[in-house]
Structure 1
Amino acid sequence: MTMYTEMFKSFSEQTEKTLAPYAKFNKLFSKNVEELTELQLTAVRTYSELGLSQLKAVGEVKDMQSLAEFNGQQLETLTKLSQQLMEDSKKFSSVAQTFKTEVEELVAENVKEVTPA
Protein backbone atom coordinates (compact mmCIF):
# COMPACT_ATOMS: atom_id res chain seq x y z
CA MET A 1 0.00 0.00 0.00
CA THR A 2 2.80 2.43 0.83
CA MET A 3 4.39 1.70 -2.53
CA TYR A 4 1.27 3.04 -4.30
CA THR A 5 1.12 6.00 -1.95
CA GLU A 6 4.74 6.88 -2.75
CA MET A 7 4.14 6.45 -6.50
CA PHE A 8 1.06 8.67 -6.35
CA LYS A 9 2.91 11.26 -4.28
CA SER A 10 5.85 11.23 -6.71
CA PHE A 11 3.50 11.51 -9.70
CA SER A 12 1.67 14.42 -8.07
CA GLU A 13 4.91 16.26 -7.31
CA GLN A 14 6.19 15.78 -10.87
CA THR A 15 2.89 16.95 -12.34
CA GLU A 16 2.88 20.01 -10.09
CA LYS A 17 6.47 20.82 -11.11
CA THR A 18 5.65 20.39 -14.78
CA LEU A 19 2.53 22.55 -14.66
CA ALA A 20 3.99 25.32 -12.45
CA PRO A 21 5.37 27.38 -15.37
CA TYR A 22 2.00 27.24 -17.13
CA ALA A 23 0.22 28.39 -13.98
CA LYS A 24 2.68 31.28 -13.57
CA PHE A 25 2.24 32.28 -17.21
CA ASN A 26 -1.55 32.15 -16.90
CA LYS A 27 -1.39 34.43 -13.85
CA LEU A 28 0.83 36.89 -15.72
CA PHE A 29 -1.44 36.79 -18.76
CA SER A 30 -4.58 37.28 -16.67
CA LYS A 31 -3.00 40.23 -14.86
CA ASN A 32 -1.98 41.76 -18.19
CA VAL A 33 -5.47 41.36 -19.69
CA GLU A 34 -7.02 42.84 -16.55
CA GLU A 35 -4.73 45.90 -16.67
CA LEU A 36 -5.32 46.43 -20.40
CA THR A 37 -9.07 46.10 -19.98
CA GLU A 38 -9.08 48.65 -17.16
CA LEU A 39 -7.01 51.06 -19.26
CA GLN A 40 -9.34 50.63 -22.23
CA LEU A 41 -12.45 51.19 -20.11
CA THR A 42 -10.93 54.31 -18.59
CA ALA A 43 -9.93 55.60 -22.04
CA VAL A 44 -13.41 54.98 -23.47
CA ARG A 45 -14.97 56.77 -20.50
CA THR A 46 -12.61 59.75 -20.86
CA TYR A 47 -13.06 60.10 -24.62
CA SER A 48 -16.83 59.69 -24.32
CA GLU A 49 -17.00 62.44 -21.71
CA LEU A 50 -14.89 64.70 -23.92
CA GLY A 51 -17.11 64.01 -26.93
CA LEU A 52 -20.28 64.63 -24.93
CA SER A 53 -18.94 67.91 -23.58
CA GLN A 54 -18.16 68.97 -27.16
CA LEU A 55 -21.71 68.12 -28.24
CA LYS A 56 -23.11 70.13 -25.35
CA ALA A 57 -20.84 73.05 -26.21
CA VAL A 58 -22.00 73.00 -29.83
CA GLY A 59 -25.59 72.98 -28.57
CA GLU A 60 -24.90 76.20 -26.68
CA VAL A 61 -23.88 78.08 -29.85
CA LYS A 62 -26.71 80.53 -30.48
CA ASP A 63 -25.07 83.63 -31.90
CA MET A 64 -21.75 84.99 -33.18
CA GLN A 65 -20.38 85.60 -29.70
CA SER A 66 -21.08 82.05 -28.49
CA LEU A 67 -19.65 80.72 -31.77
CA ALA A 68 -16.47 82.71 -31.18
CA GLU A 69 -16.25 81.36 -27.61
CA PHE A 70 -16.79 77.81 -28.85
CA ASN A 71 -14.06 78.20 -31.47
CA GLY A 72 -11.75 79.66 -28.83
CA GLN A 73 -12.23 76.57 -26.66
CA GLN A 74 -11.35 74.18 -29.50
CA LEU A 75 -7.59 74.69 -29.16
CA GLU A 76 -7.84 73.90 -25.46
CA THR A 77 -9.93 70.81 -26.22
CA LEU A 78 -7.51 69.59 -28.88
CA THR A 79 -4.59 70.11 -26.49
CA LYS A 80 -6.40 68.14 -23.80
CA LEU A 81 -7.19 65.35 -26.29
CA SER A 82 -3.58 65.23 -27.49
CA GLN A 83 -2.27 65.01 -23.93
CA GLN A 84 -4.75 62.26 -23.07
CA LEU A 85 -3.75 60.27 -26.15
CA MET A 86 -0.08 60.55 -25.20
CA GLU A 87 -0.75 59.51 -21.59
CA ASP A 88 -2.84 56.54 -22.72
CA SER A 89 -0.17 55.49 -25.18
CA LYS A 90 2.47 55.59 -22.43
CA LYS A 91 0.26 53.56 -20.09
CA PHE A 92 -0.42 50.88 -22.71
CA SER A 93 3.26 50.74 -23.61
CA SER A 94 4.22 50.41 -19.95
CA VAL A 95 1.80 47.52 -19.39
CA ALA A 96 3.08 45.77 -22.53
CA GLN A 97 6.72 46.26 -21.51
CA THR A 98 6.07 44.98 -17.99
CA PHE A 99 4.34 41.87 -19.37
CA LYS A 100 7.21 41.25 -21.81
CA THR A 101 9.80 41.58 -19.04
CA GLU A 102 7.89 39.27 -16.69
CA VAL A 103 7.47 36.62 -19.41
CA GLU A 104 11.18 36.83 -20.27
CA GLU A 105 12.04 36.36 -16.58
CA LEU A 106 9.70 33.37 -16.36
CA VAL A 107 11.26 31.78 -19.45
CA ALA A 108 14.80 32.40 -18.16
CA GLU A 109 13.86 30.90 -14.79
CA ASN A 110 12.43 27.78 -16.45
CA VAL A 111 15.41 27.38 -18.77
CA LYS A 112 17.70 27.60 -15.73
CA GLU A 113 15.69 24.89 -13.93
CA VAL A 114 15.69 22.56 -16.96
CA THR A 115 19.32 23.09 -18.01
CA PRO A 116 21.75 20.84 -16.18
CA ALA A 117 24.55 22.67 -14.36
Structure 2
Amino acid sequence: MYTEMFKSFSEQTEKSLAPYVKFNKLFTKNVEELTELQLAAVRAYSDLGLSQLKAISEIKDLQSLTSFQSQQLENLTNLSKQLVDDSNKFSALAQGFKTEVEELVAENVKQVTPA
Protein backbone atom coordinates (compact mmCIF):
# COMPACT_ATOMS: atom_id res chain seq x y z
CA MET A 1 0.00 0.00 0.00
CA TYR A 2 2.67 2.52 1.03
CA THR A 3 4.94 1.39 -1.77
CA GLU A 4 2.29 2.16 -4.36
CA MET A 5 1.55 5.53 -2.72
CA PHE A 6 5.25 6.54 -2.73
CA LYS A 7 5.64 5.31 -6.30
CA SER A 8 2.65 7.40 -7.38
CA PHE A 9 3.93 10.44 -5.48
CA SER A 10 7.38 10.01 -7.03
CA GLU A 11 5.96 9.79 -10.55
CA GLN A 12 3.76 12.85 -10.03
CA THR A 13 6.67 14.85 -8.62
CA GLU A 14 8.93 13.84 -11.51
CA LYS A 15 6.23 14.78 -14.03
CA SER A 16 5.56 18.16 -12.42
CA LEU A 17 9.28 19.02 -12.15
CA ALA A 18 10.16 17.95 -15.73
CA PRO A 19 9.68 21.46 -17.20
CA TYR A 20 12.01 22.93 -14.57
CA VAL A 21 14.63 20.30 -15.33
CA LYS A 22 14.39 21.04 -19.07
CA PHE A 23 14.68 24.77 -18.45
CA ASN A 24 17.67 24.34 -16.15
CA LYS A 25 19.45 22.21 -18.77
CA LEU A 26 18.67 24.77 -21.46
CA PHE A 27 19.85 27.63 -19.26
CA THR A 28 23.06 25.79 -18.33
CA LYS A 29 23.82 25.09 -22.00
CA ASN A 30 23.25 28.77 -22.82
CA VAL A 31 25.54 29.95 -20.01
CA GLU A 32 28.27 27.56 -21.19
CA GLU A 33 28.06 28.85 -24.76
CA LEU A 34 27.98 32.45 -23.57
CA THR A 35 31.03 31.90 -21.38
CA GLU A 36 32.94 30.32 -24.27
CA LEU A 37 32.10 33.27 -26.51
CA GLN A 38 33.16 35.76 -23.87
CA LEU A 39 36.44 33.96 -23.21
CA ALA A 40 37.21 33.85 -26.93
CA ALA A 41 36.45 37.58 -27.24
CA VAL A 42 38.62 38.45 -24.24
CA ARG A 43 41.43 36.32 -25.65
CA ALA A 44 41.21 38.03 -29.07
CA TYR A 45 41.12 41.55 -27.61
CA SER A 46 43.96 40.77 -25.22
CA ASP A 47 46.08 39.44 -28.07
CA LEU A 48 45.40 42.58 -30.06
CA GLY A 49 46.30 44.81 -27.12
CA LEU A 50 49.51 42.91 -26.43
CA SER A 51 50.53 43.02 -30.08
CA GLN A 52 49.95 46.78 -30.03
CA LEU A 53 52.13 47.16 -26.95
CA LYS A 54 54.89 45.12 -28.58
CA ALA A 55 54.63 47.17 -31.76
CA ILE A 56 54.88 50.41 -29.77
CA SER A 57 57.94 49.15 -27.94
CA GLU A 58 59.62 48.52 -31.32
CA ILE A 59 59.39 52.19 -32.36
CA LYS A 60 62.96 53.48 -32.46
CA ASP A 61 63.00 56.06 -35.23
CA LEU A 62 60.80 58.01 -37.61
CA GLN A 63 60.59 55.16 -40.10
CA SER A 64 59.37 52.65 -37.50
CA LEU A 65 56.86 55.24 -36.23
CA THR A 66 55.52 55.72 -39.75
CA SER A 67 55.29 51.97 -40.21
CA PHE A 68 53.44 51.65 -36.90
CA GLN A 69 50.97 54.37 -37.83
CA SER A 70 50.26 52.84 -41.24
CA GLN A 71 49.49 49.52 -39.51
CA GLN A 72 46.92 51.20 -37.24
CA LEU A 73 44.26 51.53 -39.93
CA GLU A 74 44.43 47.80 -40.61
CA ASN A 75 44.28 47.07 -36.87
CA LEU A 76 41.22 49.30 -36.45
CA THR A 77 39.52 47.59 -39.39
CA ASN A 78 40.23 44.18 -37.88
CA LEU A 79 39.00 45.35 -34.49
CA SER A 80 35.75 46.69 -35.91
CA LYS A 81 35.20 43.42 -37.81
CA GLN A 82 35.85 41.49 -34.61
CA LEU A 83 33.40 43.65 -32.66
CA VAL A 84 30.67 43.20 -35.28
CA ASP A 85 31.31 39.46 -35.46
CA ASP A 86 31.20 39.12 -31.67
CA SER A 87 27.98 41.12 -31.40
CA ASN A 88 26.40 38.94 -34.11
CA LYS A 89 27.43 35.79 -32.24
CA PHE A 90 26.01 37.09 -28.96
CA SER A 91 22.81 38.13 -30.70
CA ALA A 92 22.42 34.72 -32.37
CA LEU A 93 23.00 32.99 -29.04
CA ALA A 94 20.38 35.15 -27.32
CA GLN A 95 17.89 34.62 -30.14
CA GLY A 96 18.44 30.86 -30.04
CA PHE A 97 17.89 30.79 -26.28
CA LYS A 98 14.71 32.86 -26.64
CA THR A 99 13.37 30.52 -29.32
CA GLU A 100 14.12 27.41 -27.27
CA VAL A 101 12.47 28.89 -24.16
CA GLU A 102 9.40 29.85 -26.20
CA GLU A 103 9.19 26.27 -27.54
CA LEU A 104 9.50 24.90 -24.01
CA VAL A 105 6.76 27.20 -22.75
CA ALA A 106 4.48 26.34 -25.69
CA GLU A 107 5.04 22.64 -25.07
CA ASN A 108 4.17 23.00 -21.38
CA VAL A 109 1.10 25.12 -22.09
CA LYS A 110 -0.08 22.48 -24.56
CA GLN A 111 0.32 19.78 -21.89
CA VAL A 112 -1.55 21.78 -19.26
CA THR A 113 -4.34 23.11 -21.48
CA PRO A 114 -7.27 20.71 -21.73
CA ALA A 115 -8.06 19.56 -25.24
Q: Into which bin does the TM-score normalised by the smaller protein fall?
A: over 0.9
The equivalences for 1:96-115 within 5 A come to 96-115=94-113
The match for 1:6 among 4, 7, 18 is 4
Look up the match of 1:35: 33
Normalising by the residue count of structure 2, what TM-score does the alignment of the two structures yield? 0.98
Normalising by the residue count of structure 1, what TM-score does the alignment of the two structures yield? 0.97
Give structure 1 stretches of 5+ with no counterpart: none
The amino acid across from 2:26 in the alignment is L
The equivalences for 1:1-117 within 5 A come to 3-117=1-115
Deviation at 1:9, TM superposition (A): 1.1
CA RMSD of aligned residues (A): 0.5
Cα distance in 2, alignment partners of residues 4 and 67 from structure 1: 84
Provide the identity percentage: 79
Cα distance in 2, alignment partners of residues 52 and 5 from structure 1: 66
Of 3-12 and 26-35, more deviation after overlay is shown by 3-12
Cα distance in 2, alignment partners of residues 95 and 5 from structure 1: 45
**1:41-89 residue CA offsets vs partner (Å, 9 max, x unmatched):** 1100000000000000011111110010000000000000000001100
